[in-house]
Structure 1
Amino acid sequence: MPEMLTGAGVWVRVVNPDPGELERLRERFGIHPLIIADLVEGRQAPKLERLSGHLYLNLWDVDRSGDDPATHTDIALVFNDHECLVVQNGPEDELRDIEALLLADALVPVTSPISGVYRILDAVVQDFVELGAGVERELEEVEEEVFDSSIREDYRRIYRLRQRIGRIDRAVSGLAEAITADRGEFEAMMASEPALRAFFTHLEHDVTGVAKLATAEHAALDAVVSSHESNVSTRQNQDMRTISAFAALLAIPTVIAGVYGMNFKNLPLVQWEFGWLVVGIAMVAIDIVVYVLFRRRGWLGDRRGERARPAAR
């Protein structure tokens, strides 16, 4: 159990601890058994609560190393005025370097557990702020694709975006609720460091802003998905009309050939030397007329004189 920042209180960081290690930590710091039970179970929803003189804050962290940032890791902070336990769970190559974060130069120096907790929270929230802004830009691009009839949208991209928004929403909405609902707990711990209050207020605004943005992005993406499904249905209908039109074009010569294929001597033009030529020309002429009619009705592509243009939002 490596200790760090002893000048700013007692800090202990553990990664993927087993139940035995957590039990030893409980005995050392006097942590409430319910907190230990949550840590043993793992992957708790973001929340903040006070138990046996400790504040217990759980949050989902974000791994930004890949092309599609995920929230496979979480951070649990168990702290009071004198000590802080940091428990990280998840793949070790995706975990945030807490020690480097706390030792780095920043506007808020780590002089106590609550200032260190702020530094960790701020780093996590700022990552989510950047992710939310990136999702917003991608959402605008997807909207342009879906509402532009000349572009066939990528449904895989739409559903990947929906997954990303869901991850951000689940991670941030719980954290925002925990921070805003229990702000008094943080206020009490900042009594000796009143300068921190402005920073926590700014942090609270950031996390609630990201939560609201994620909710708005969910609603906007629902409209995009509905439009995408409508586009798919429209394209399927167009395909069916095109298939039907070609079937009709093929049916005309088939019917005529079938009639003249009957073994009757008194059929028109049968006894004439150039009758076959007249019948062939009639087949082509009728097909051309029917083709033009289908084309004007939009069954074989865009109607004459129309160009594909973006649909109204």
Structure 2
Amino acid sequence: MECVIYRSDSVPQAPHVAESSESALKRLRDAPEGSFGWIRLADPSAQEVEALADELGLHPLAVEDAVQAHQRPKRERYDEVLSVSLKTLRYVEETSQIESGDAMIFLGPRFVLTVCHGQADPATEAAERLARDPALLALGPLAVLHAVLDVTVDTYTVIAAAVRDDLTDLERRVFSPGRGEVIEEVYSLKREVLEFRDAVQPLVPVVQEFAGPRSGWPEEALPYFRDVADHVHRTDTEVRSLDELLNSVLDAHLAQVGARQNDDMRTISAWAAIFALPTLIAGVYGMNFAHMPELQWTYGYPAAIALMVGACTALHRVFRRNGWL
């Protein structure tokens, strides 16, 4: 648990590692007039969140969302406290997979509380950005909300580029002459893109509302959130494009599998026809009727063998010419 005090006219103090929720709340209460505090929790227990709830005026439903995590990106307002939930993502280079986490941001008149679950914690990078741009602190707690959203959306943009590279590589393999079986990888990437889409799409209307006059926020804060809204909209468009392209790659791969199966069936049918012809001739002469042509002919057997070989050779050439063999 960390608690840092911000003033709009100075560089923020160094984060204070609180031993308990009581010490963090005391630090918040002792903050000078005109300042606000930011309490950061990473993978907290239910007791840690509930210990802060009464003092900060958090609604029980919001506390439940913060503890349980796995919430859809949304915004809720409970009296003077605004709660924003969003999905945090992390791209793992070794496995080309996307790991998801959850973050909830509570904004009050003089405090910000962030509760993060998972390894993709945007709070640390957001704090560093605020330290580099102390002028942004004039927005008060909105500065923290903007910083966390900005870090999260920037991460989305980086992940979208990485997924695009993975998809390009997969597409090249699907259409290469020496392609292997990639259906499992296609479905795996499809799951990653769907998880990515579930994080980005619900966040678009939330950020768009923050960037418009309906938010009721100061005019000077709106350009910052319009910038975030523009970035998340572009990322959403990119994710939709990735999803559609992946569907096309999947359809193309399935069509190739079907075509290969048809080729195999034609080959099998061609060989079956070739072997069926001598079987037919041998079957006719094996019926042992007394009156059959050529049974008493000296060259009947060699002629029948020659007929079989000639007919099979002719069929083989016809099938080769048509591409069946």
Give me the TM-score of the superposition, normalised by structure 1. Answer: 0.81
The equivalent of 1:31 in structure 2 is 58
User: Which stretches in structure 1 are left out of the alignment for 5+ residues?
Assistant: 301-313
- Which structure 2 residues correspond to residues 2-41 of structure 1 after superposition, within 5 A? 2-7=2-7, 8=12, 9-41=36-68
How many angstroms apart in 2 are the aligned matches of 1:60 and 1:240? Answer: 48
- Which structure 2 residues correspond to residues 271-282 of structure 1 after superposition, within 5 A? 271-272=296-297, 274-282=299-307
Please say if residues 172 and 207 of structure 1, whose CA atoms lie closer than 8 Å, have aligned partners that are also in contact: yes
SS at match of 1:64: strand
Give the superposed CA RMSD: 2.9
The equivalent of 1:241 in structure 2 is 266
Q: Which moved more, 1:155-164 or 1:167-176?
A: 155-164
Match of residue 159, structure 1, among 187, 194, 212 = 187
How many angstroms apart in 2 are the aligned matches of 1:141 and 1:297? Answer: 34
Residue 168 of structure 1 deviates from its aligned partner by 1.3
- CA deviations on 1:243-277 (whole Å, 9 max, x unpaired) are 11111111112222223334357655554555433
User: Which stretches in structure 2 are left out of the alignment for 5+ residues?
Assistant: 13-35
Q: Structure 2: which amino acid aligns with 1:223?
A: S
Q: Does 1:298 align with 2:298?
A: no
The equivalent of 1:123 in structure 2 is 151
Residue 150 of structure 1 deviates from its aligned partner by 7.0
Q: Which moved more, 1:224-233 or 1:270-279?
A: 270-279
Q: Which moved more, 1:15-24 or 1:99-108?
A: 99-108
Please say if residues 41 and 114 of structure 2, whose CA atoms lie closer than 8 Å, have aligned partners that are also in contact: yes
186 and 39 in structure 1: CA distance in 2 versus 1, 3 angstrom threshold: farther
- Which structure 2 residues correspond to residues 105-144 of structure 1 after superposition, within 5 A? 108-109=133-134, 111=137, 112-144=140-172
Match of residue 218, structure 1, among 226, 236, 243 = 243
How many angstroms apart in 1 are the aligned matches of 2:158 and 2:40? Answer: 26
Please say if residues 108 and 115 of structure 1, whose CA atoms lie closer than 8 Å, have aligned partners that are also in contact: no
SS at match of 2:72: coil
148 and 64 in structure 1: CA distance in 2 versus 1, 3 angstrom threshold: closer
How many angstroms apart in 2 are the aligned matches of 1:128 and 1:107? Answer: 22
Please say if residues 108 and 119 of structure 1, whose CA atoms lie closer than 8 Å, have aligned partners that are also in contact: no
- Which structure 2 residues correspond to residues 74-223 of structure 1 after superposition, within 5 A? 74-90=102-118, 94-96=119-121, 98-99=123-124, 101-103=126-128, 108-109=133-134, 111=137, 112-146=140-174, 151=179, 154-184=182-212, 188-191=216-219, 194=220, 197-223=222-248
Please say if residues 129 and 147 of structure 2, whose CA atoms lie closer than 8 Å, have aligned partners that are also in contact: no
How many angstroms apart in 2 are the aligned matches of 1:236 and 1:24? Answer: 63
The equivalent of 2:284 in structure 1 is 259
Please say if residues 62 and 127 of structure 1, whose CA atoms lie closer than 8 Å, have aligned partners that are also in contact: yes
Please say if residues 145 and 153 of structure 1, whose CA atoms lie closer than 8 Å, have aligned partners that are also in contact: no
> Which structure would you say has the larger RCO, counting Cα contacts within 8 Å and 6 or more residues apart?
1
Match of residue 47, structure 1, among 74, 88, 94 = 74
Question: Identity rate of aligned residues, in percent?
Answer: 29
Give me the TM-score of the superposition, normalised by structure 2. Answer: 0.78
Please say if residues 81 and 189 of structure 1, whose CA atoms lie closer than 8 Å, have aligned partners that are also in contact: no
How many angstroms apart in 2 are the aligned matches of 1:190 and 1:62? Answer: 30
